[in-house]
Amino acid sequence: MSDAVNLDAYLRRVGWFGPVGVDLATLRGLAVAHVATIPFANLHPLMGLPVELGLAALQRKLVDQRRGGYCFEQNLLFEAVLREIGFEVSGLIARVLWGQPDDAETPQSHMLLRVELAGESWLIDVGFGGHVLTGVLRLQPDVEQATAHEPFRLLERDAEWRMQSLAHGQWRTLYRFTLRPVPMIDYVVANHYVSTHPASRFVGNLLLGRTPAGRRLSLLNYDFSVRRTGHEPQHRRLRDVAELREVLEREFLLPLPDGADFERRLQGLPRD
């Protein structure tokens, strides 16, 4: 199979039927379309299945089979799409701080992208679960930047950057990173840890996210949340596997595997 992404199939997958070009409108528009249609999902680590990062496997899973994936899958596919269009793009790696103190020592377990366009640097990330960036950020510190959802900003100190969002009136850090280019082997190692290590939350929990216009959908095991722009979050505890499967298919647009193993795994998810 060719190592080039099938751009036409990808554009149909995310519902993009307009022109594409090496411009900010395409970059921002595809980022918003991607996170609205391709869900963040960790079904493979949950089921003990390998997470493949080759482009052919990513195309087959996320595009052809219309399934979801997590940060390495999402951003590697998006990187290939941008390169196919003609963008100059490179990958970065980050330490996740969402829900952690800003000085916490966390592993490098998240991928994001840097794009050079018209003499400026931009950051893009289509793989951060239910609080993913919806758009692109100019690589400029201390400036509030609008997105399709809440404002984001970047902080920089001693060559280390932090990405923050304004959530419920408070700036919260998603992750910290440097601008050092990252070789593919670093993603392979991080992906192996995230998808297999017993301490990884992706192994023992079901985590899903999708971000259509005006909403953020997220699920942690049996807890389903909807955050609408300008409104208080709505939380719902799902009753059973049947309701969980319905939400996975209806809200997260996921085709679900059949079989007793998947059913047992859903039954055994934490309910605390």
Domains of the chain with bracketed CATH: 7-184 (3.30.2140.20)
Of 34, 44, 125, 131, the active-site residue reads: 125
Q: Residue 182 to residues 94, 127, 186, 216: CA-CA distances in angstroms?
A: 10, 17, 7, 29
User: What pLDDT is recorded for position 88?
Assistant: 98
Task: At 214, list the tokens.
Answer: 């005006």
Per-residue pLDDT of the chain (272 residues; tens, 9 = 90+): 357 899 999 999 999 999 999 999 999 999 999 999 999 999 999 999 999 999 999 999 999 999 999 999 999 999 999 999 999 999 999 999 998 988 899 999 999 999 999 999 999 999 999 999 999 999 999 999 999 999 999 999 999 999 999 988 899 999 999 999 999 999 999 999 999 999 999 999 999 999 999 999 999 999 999 999 878 899 999 999 999 999 999 999 999 888 889 999 999 999 87
User: What pLDDT is recorded for position 1?
Assistant: 37
User: What pLDDT is recorded for position 260?
Assistant: 86
Of 71, 102, 235, 240, the active-site residue reads: 71
Of 44, 110, 131, 149, the active-site residue reads: 110
Catalytic annotation present for 261: no
Query: How does DSSP assign 159-206, residue by residue?
Result: TEEEEEEEETTEEEEEEEE------HHHHHHHHHHHHH-TT-HHHHS-
User: What pLDDT is recorded for position 29?
Assistant: 97
**Cα atoms found within 13 Å of the Cα of residue 228, Cβ hemisphere only:** 4
Task: At 128, list the tokens.
Answer: 């951060």
The CA dihedral of 8, 12, 15, 16, to the nearest 10 degrees, is: 10
**Residue 86 Ramachandran class (φ > 0 left, ψ -120 to 50 alpha, else beta):** left
User: What pLDDT is recorded for position 42?
Assistant: 97
Catalytic annotation present for 44: no
Catalytic annotation present for 110: yes
